[in-house]
Amino acid sequence: MEEALRKAKAIAVRTDEMLFDLSRLKEFGDEARLEPVTFTLKEGRDIYRHSASHIMAHAVKTLFPEARLAIGPATEEGFYYDFDLDRPLTLEDLGMIEKKMAEIVGEDRPFRRRVLAKTEAIDLFRKAGQDYKVELLGEITDESVSLYEEGDFVDLCRGPHVPSTGAIRAFKLLSIAGAYWRGDEKNRMLQRIYGTAFDKEKELKEYLVFLEEVKKRDHRRLGKELDLFSISDDIGPGLILWHPNGATIRKAIEDFWRDEHTKADYKILFSPHIAKLNLWKKSGHWDFYRENMYSPMEIEGLEYELKPMNCPFHIQIYKSGLRSYRDLPLRYAELGTVYRYERSGVLHGLLRVRGFTQDDAHIFCREDQIEDEVLRVLDFTLFILKTFGFDKYDVYLSTRPEKFVGTPESWERSTGALKCALELKGLAYSVDPGEGVFYGPKIDIKVKDSLGRAWQCSTIQVDFNNPERFDLGFRGSDGKEHRPIMIHRALMGSLERFFGILVEHYAGVFPLWLAPVQVALLTIAERQTEYALKVREKLKAEGVRTEANLDNEKIGHKIREATIRKVPYLGIIGDKEVLEGNVSVRRQNGENLGSMTEEDLLRLLKEEIKHRG
C-alpha cells in the first residue's frame, strides 16, 4: 500500500469520505480501501497549501516571537494566516519570512499529529500567550482535539497535512493586508499574509505571471486611470460614484437591457428605495436575511427599512389588480437599486458594495408554465452574456439549505422543474447542495472571463413561498382561485459587479458600442480645427460618441494620450485630410486603416456598433 501511494505521489489518503495523514496508515487494516489524495485534486491542493500556511506561521513565530496566531486556512489559489503583531509588517519582512520558510522546508521536518484533551490544549496555548487559539478551543464541543507539530512549532489544527515540510516544493508570499478578527470591525485588526504554493516550480511561475496580468486588469486601478468611478470617504465605503465615462458605459448597458426586455415581453417597473418594516417581516427577509439589512428608520411613528430586495414591491404591483390565467405569465423587470449591509473588511471596489442596482425581474406564472419560463430565461441569459463577450460559463443547481421556508414537497417540485429545464437545454451542470436561497432552489451561472476566472452573475430562482405569504392568486379557466408561482431572476446580477467584471474582462479596452468615447479626432495643427469640429458634429449627430483634441501639442503626444485612454478609433486630421475631405483612421491597437471619407468612417462605426462589436 505504501509503495502504491508513493508512486501515486499521494500527500494524504481518503477513506469513507474522510481525509487522513499518510502517517496514520498503520491505523487501517489490510482490507481498508484507501484512495490516494494528490495535488491534482482540490482536497490535495487544500492540504498542501494549508501545510504551507503552517510553515509560514512557524517562520513568523521564529522571527517575531511575540506574534499571536489566529487562523491560517487554504484558499482557492493559495493560503493566508492572520497574525497579531505589535508592529506593522513590511514588504521587506515578507522577504525575511519567505527565506525562513525555505530553511524550514529544507530541514524536511515531519508533521506530527498529537491528540490531547481540550482542557490540556487550552492550558498549553494559554501558557504560550496564544489567546486566539484559546478562544477557538472554547468553542469546540469535542472533549479532545488535535495539534500538529513540526520541529518546535505547534498549532491547533484538524489536519491532515503533508508528510513533512520538505514536501512543499514551490511557494511565494504575495501580500500583506489588514483583517479584523473573525471579520468583525468591532474586533482587533490583525495582519494577514497571503501566499500561494504549488507542487511544481513551473506552475508557480505561470501563476505569478497570471497574477501580474490580474493586477494590470484590476478594475479599481483601471477605474481611476480611465476616470470611470470612485468611492469617497465623505460619502461612505461601498457606495459608488459613477463618473461621466463610467456613467456613459452604464447608460449603454441599461439602454440595451431595457430594449431587450421590452422585446422579450417584460413590463418595466420602478419602485421606492424604502418600505415599511412589516413588508420585510411578511416576506421573510427580516427573519432570514436580517444580518444583511440596515437598522430601521422611524418616520411618523412607523418603522421603515432600506430595501435589500425588489421582490416585495413587484408582488405589491401584482396584487394591485385582479389576475386571470389569461394574464399569465406576467413578467416584471426593474433596474432596482438595493442596499445591503456588508462588513467594511469584505468590501472590494465594485465587486462587493453596500448599494447596488440589480437587473431584477420576477415572473408570475402557473405551475404548468414553470419549465417553459425557465427555458426562456436560460435562452435570454445566454444571449445577454454572449452579447457582452462571455461564451464560457459554469452552471450550478443549488438545492434546499438548512434554514428554509415552505414544504419539502414544494422544494422538490421546484428543484425538479429547474433540473428538467437544464437537461432539456442540454446544459451541463453541477449540483450545489444546500446553497439555495431560503425561499427556493436556484440555478446559478458563473461566467468565465478572458483570464479563465469564474464570476457569479446570473441566477434563476423558483419561489412557491412568497405567493403563499402574500396570498397571491389568479382566476383559473375553471373559474376558481389558484396560487401563482414566482420566478426570481437576474441576468447580470448587479450593474456594479457586472461592470467591474467587464472592466477586467476587457482590460479597459471596451468594445466600440460600450466605449465612453468611440472616436477621438486629433489635429496636427491649429489650422485643421474648423474641419475637425465639422467632422465631430457630423459623427455626434449620428449618435457616435466623438471628441476632438484641438490642443497645440505634437500629434505623437495626442495619439499616446488617446491610446492610454483606450479610445477604440483615432481619426488623424492634417492638411491633406482637410484638402481631400477625409480622415486618416487607426484603431486603438495601432492598426492603420488608411484614409477614408467621413461617410465611410461613419458607415464603419455604425455597422460595428449595430453588431455590438
Catalytic amino acids?
311, 340, 358, 360, 362, 442, 488
Contact 536, 518 (CB under 8 A): no
Residue 326 near residue 366 (C-beta atoms within 8 A): no
| Gap between the Cα atoms of 571 and 409, Å rounded | 64
Please report where in the chains the cell 476632438 appears, as a residue: 548
Task: Enter the C-alpha cell of residue 287.
Answer: 427573519
Nearest to 274 by CA among 366, 210, 355: 355
Inter-residue long-range contacts of 319-328, CB under 8 Å, 24+ positions, other chains counted: 319/470, 319/472, 322/475, 323/364, 323/473, 323/474, 323/475, 323/484, 324/474, 324/475, 325/366, 325/474, 325/475, 325/476, 325/477, 325/482, 327/474, 328/364, 328/365, 328/366, 328/369, 328/474, 328/484
378 in Cβ contact with 423 (< 8 Å): no
CA 418 to chain centre: 23
State how far the Cα of 283 lies from the Cα of 471, in Å rounded to an integer: 11
605, three cell numbers: 462605426
Output the nine-digit C-alpha cell for 186: 468591532
In whole angstroms, give the CA distance from residue 332 to residue 314: 7
For 501-543, the three-class secondary structure string (H helix, E strand, C coil) is: HHHHHHCCCCCCCCCCCCEEEEECCHHHHHHHHHHHHHHHHCC
d(Cα 502, Cα 509) in Å, to the nearest integer? 10
Q: How many helices (H) and strands (E) does the chain have?
A: 19, 30
